Amino acid sequence: MAVQGEETAEKQAAVPGGGTTAAARGHPLLRGWRRERYTHGMHPAQMEALRAMCGALIPSLPADGGHGRGDPPGGKDLERFYRASAADSTIPDEIRTFGLCLSGSARARLHVAGELASEIGKSFHPVAELMVTRCIREAVALAWVVLWVLSTRVGTLLLCGRLCAGGGFPYVRKFADMPPERREAALQRWNRVRWLFPLRIAFAIVKILCHYVFYAMVNENSENPYWKAIGYSVHESREGQAEAAPSPSRPLDVGVVETRLLNDNALLRSLVGRGLTVKPAASDADHHVVQCDAVIVGSGCGGGVAAAMLASAGYKVVVVEKGDYFTAADYSSIEGPSMERLFERGGIFCTSNVTTMIFTGATVGGGSAVNWSASIRTPREVTQEWAREHGLPVFASPGYVQAMDAVCDRLSVTDGCREEGFQNKVVRRGCEALGLCADAVPRNSSEGHFCGSCNFGCPTGDKRGTDTTWLVDAVARGAVILTGCKAEHFVFEKNSSSGRGRGKKCVGLVATCASDGVTKKLRIEARVSIAACGALMTPPLLRSSGLKNRHIGRNLHLHPVSMAWGYFPESRQDPQLAGKCYEGGIITSMHRVTERTIIETPALGPGAFAAMVPWESGRDMKERMHRYSRTAHAFALVRDRGAGFVDGEGRVRFTPSREDVEELRHGLRRALRILVAAGAAEVGTHRSDGQRLRCKGLRDEDLEAFLDEISPTRPSAKRERPSREAAAPSAGKAARRHRRRRRFGTGA
């Protein structure tokens, strides 16, 4: 078909096989990309203050800084790691990772690679860009003001006190001119003093983004010069691994229209070529009008299943998805660009109080494309509660059990695991040592699946999501998937039907394409309209459509999570606990603490790890990162009684209830016991004061005293030192619990 030929030509630079080298890893968009200019708009004085903060968070240190805890020397890689500073990056093309680069004229002026690296390091635009584009506006405004204040001597005196005093005129230094050790001391003060809450928020934002950029960014060869020093490498298929190799085919291409690559004419031809009715342009000057039977917003667990069912019933279905379409062969497993392209807000999605980070999928397949493979059936006690207390008897019926069976069958869910990864082996060993039960976790992959990067899209193609199951069924029956297309609002008309029906009915929606070449919006007219864009994105869509119900966005349950960690040195590695924290199946073992609390293991790339763990000092943080690959994490997940509120796009209010905090505390204590019993050399939490305990020669009374101080939010009544809260997927329905929206706390 002519339309397909046009699209293929446009995709040559964007899809596998379209002109990329064999050595290139995955899709170009998942290796790094470019944008022509920065949009953060920060003043050079603010950028100077931001650079000074980043340099204090990740300072240049003596090369022997990594040997303070008995770790073996790491040669030149470790020396380069300790000498590196966030204020002076050594990656010449770091900006490609996040699509942030200088204009063409500026690049021409800075034609020498070393000069370009120096200029980027001095201004540190990537952190500023992420701050402005990913954080909520109140947090951005707060950080903006703090950076302005720190760019002046008077403001620095106000926020830093005597730390900014100098030995000569003018006697007071602005923040960027303070000695590094004093800047670090100021950050430590902001992080721990309760009454400086605005400064703590600003500190948390910069801490999260600075560390994320530093450890997740890559150069043009998809490499980060510090990964070797921290023992990290990107996923490579294991030799002889018994799982399917990724197919170069794109099974959804027959139904996918990638609007990001098209102009108006090509878009219309694509829609017509896929069997849709497009009204003449004269009928609507502002919109391209498309007609179908059903339009669905979202391609995840809800939207994918709905599309398959409706298409199989003979209806013409259109799925609107703002993300892009990637396959197993496209996934690079590189943290920075994968987070940017596969997750909502590039993975930088915090609650309004900056205490909870939320990871939710934003690609074809939604959360199912980036889930952690856990496919847990709704527990019987939960279905009984829903039926008994909420008047929903269907969940206690045999039909619901049959529905779960059908879902598990379509996703090829398996109950066993041939070989567990390091973190899950730690949890299992700790449970066995304590006489506790560690259950196997069903996964939507084969029993031999040993992939630790499924959270960046499964590069082996072994994991099953809606993008490889129900959506394939849907397009085979004529469904069309519009990618790079964001629904703006539903369209309502007066209901002319007689009887006691509602006054208005939904007749479709209006959507915007990401392509600059598409000048008109899409108006998709349908008999049935379905909002399936998740608990976080559906409420803003409904409000923008003019719906006023006060319950929209309320009763949000996030399954809060609190993290514990244990360090297992490589030098005394137990053969039974071999491996690294990012290797192997992400969740294969689970311990049930109470009816409402479980313990599992997370997937943490180096960027996410650095963003979440507590920062006590620049040296301590580098030591933590040097031990990254052998630091096992376990989290306590609670089925929360409290509820949050979605009050706008990217705006979530959430604070755990007292009951939930107590459940988290109980689960966190149990997780720490498990890590100690498994043989950790040191254990700790993500509380902002860096709460930790050395385990060598540990007495029972010392452990109990440490556990008595454990709290997810408050170490004592005198001073609050919060940990950055966490969250996990909602209880969901049936085996939809694919870990659709994985959320974690940070440790700023």
Is 510 exposed, middle or buried (CB count within 10 Å of its CB: 0-12, 13-18, 19+)?
Answer: middle
Q: Report the alpha-carbon distance of residue 724 to residue 721 in Å, rounded.
A: 10
DSSP bridge partners of 358: 743
Q: Report the alpha-carbon distance of residue 206 to residue 53 in Å, rounded.
A: 8
Is 295 annotated for ligand binding?
Answer: yes
Is 533 annotated for ligand binding?
Answer: no
Q: Report the alpha-carbon distance of residue 121 to residue 18 in Å, rounded.
A: 33
Q: Provide DSSP, 171-224.
A: -B--GGGS-HHHHHHHHHHHHH-TT-HHHHHHHHHHHHHHHHHHHH---TTS--
Is 323 annotated for ligand binding?
Answer: no
Is 431 annotated for ligand binding?
Answer: no
How does 553-587 read in b/e, with b if 16+ C-beta sit within 10 Å?
Answer: beebbbbbbbbbbbbbeeeeeeeebebbbbbbbbb
Is 480 annotated for ligand binding?
Answer: no
Is 552 annotated for ligand binding?
Answer: no
Is 77 annotated for ligand binding?
Answer: no
Is 745 annotated for ligand binding?
Answer: no
Is 13 annotated for ligand binding?
Answer: no
Is 506 annotated for ligand binding?
Answer: no
Sheet harboring 480-483: ordered strands across? 256-258, 480-483, 317-320, 294-297, 528-531
Is 296 annotated for ligand binding?
Answer: yes
SS3 percent helix, strand, coil of the chain, rounded to 5, is 40, 15, 45
Cis peptide bond upstream of 540, omega within 30 = no
Is 303 annotated for ligand binding?
Answer: yes
Is 299 annotated for ligand binding?
Answer: yes
Structure tokens at 134: 């990913």
Is 564 annotated for ligand binding?
Answer: no
Half-sphere exposure of 330 (CA within 13 A, CB side): 25
Inter-CA distances, 258 with 13, 452, 467, 532, 558, Å: 14, 29, 15, 20, 32
3-state SS assignment for residue 643: coil
Q: Which stretches of 31-179 are DSSP H helices?
A: 44-57, 75-83, 104-109, 113-123, 125-134, 137-150, 153-160
- Cα-flanking dihedrals φ and ψ of residue 208, to 5°? -60, -50
Please state the length of the chain: 748
Is 307 annotated for ligand binding?
Answer: yes
Extract the runs of DSSP E, i.e. beta strands, from 387-503: 439-440, 480-483, 485-494
Is 697 annotated for ligand binding?
Answer: no
Structure tokens at 452: 């630790």
Q: Report the alpha-carbon distance of residue 684 to residue 672 in Å, rounded.
A: 7
Q: Report the alpha-carbon distance of residue 268 to residue 616 in Å, rounded.
A: 56
Which residues sit in the known binding site for FAD? 292-307
Which residues sit in the known binding site? 292-307
